[in-house]
Amino acid sequence: MRLLFIGDIVGRTGRAALLDRLPELRRDWALDFVVVNGENAAGGFGITEAICDEMLDAGADCVTLGNHAWDQKEALVFIERQPRLIRPINYPAGTPGRGAYLFEAQTGARVLVMNAMGRVFMDPLDDPFAAVERELEACPLGMGCDAVVVDMHAETTSEKYAMGHFCDGRASLVVGTHTHVPTADAQILPGGTAYQTDAGMTGDYDSVIGMDKREPLQRFTRKIAQGRFEPASGEATLCGVAVDIDERTGLAFAVAPVRLGGRLAPALPDFWG
């Protein structure tokens, strides 16, 4: 199974890069399943129903979120009728939406996608490890599903690595989001789970993690806010992780970073030609 995970879409320029490139990538790489993190898609903060629909129409099979899930208040409503939009699984009971969902890939394979949020330097939510464990037990790889993807939306590399090893041998891919910088540690863990600490953002890298430089610099140098954070508007780099999954075991046998366009050095998975 060929799976592509695309990192945090930031603002209009990130959306444009996704909508422009994803249909071509699905065709040229013969992708079976695509996950997109869209929690920064609406002006850098949250997601709207129209934007979510655009991403799904462009070829995403599902969209994951994170700590900005509810910045656009309409998300609290439309997430209930959109099972392809996944919010962090460790929000308290009664939170709208769902933190995991079992999808059907184009091949007919069953793909369990989970979104978990870390707690180190983040909002003090429920334990993400316990929440992920419940889903892995309820829908085990190779029995309840054919592939498992965990989007670990967290601030620290240690918490992301811990989730990778926690899921090793029980998930196809554990990938970090939130910090908006692609890491250089794409690997297959000892148990067969593909891992990368952060997929990076899909946005303008001539920025401060996707935001126009002026306001962050003002706040860092003078400790005074002069306005709102606004997404940078230059050409975006599409960043993500490509994974080849063994259809017999659900575990990974190849993983590579993806970087296309914009300012970063390009990276493509050589195992897909």
For residue range 87-138, list pLDDT tens digits in order. 999 999 999 999 999 999 989 999 999 999 999 999 889 999 999 999 999 9
DSSP class per residue in 102-123: EEE-TTS-EEEEEEEE--TTS-
Task: Summarize the confidence of residues 196-216 as an average pLDDT.
Answer: 93
Residue 143: predicted pLDDT? 94
Q: β-pairing, 187-188 with 194-196?
A: antiparallel
Residue 117: predicted pLDDT? 97
Task: Summarize the confidence of residues 241-258 as an average pLDDT.
Answer: 97
**Whole-angstrom distance, CA of residue 212 vs CA of residue 205:** 10
For 49-96, the pLDDT digits (tens) are 999 999 999 999 999 999 998 999 999 999 999 999 999 999 999 999
Mean pLDDT of the chain: 95
For 156-188, the pLDDT digits (tens) are 999 999 999 999 999 999 999 999 999 999 999
Burial class, 50, CB count within 10 angstroms (exposed 0-12 / middle 13-18 / buried 19+): exposed
The structural domains of the chain, ordered by start, are: 2-272 (3.60.21.10)
Contact 210/175 with Cβ under 8 angstroms? Answer: no
- Give yes or no for residue 45 having a pLDDT over 90: yes
The model's pTM is 0.96
**Residue 225 confidence class, pLDDT cut points 50, 70, 90:** confident
Residue 220's CB: how many other CB atoms inside 10 A?
A: 9
Residue 178 designated active-site = no
Q: How far apart are the first and last CA of the chain?
A: 15
User: Which residues, other chains included, contact 207 with Cβ-Cβ below 8 Å and sequence gap of 6+?
Assistant: 213, 231, 232, 234
- Give yes or no for residue 148 having a pLDDT over 90: yes
Residue 32: predicted pLDDT? 97
**Whole-angstrom distance, CA of residue 180 vs CA of residue 198:** 7
**Residue 212 confidence class, pLDDT cut points 50, 70, 90:** confident
Bridge partners, residue 37, by sequence: 64
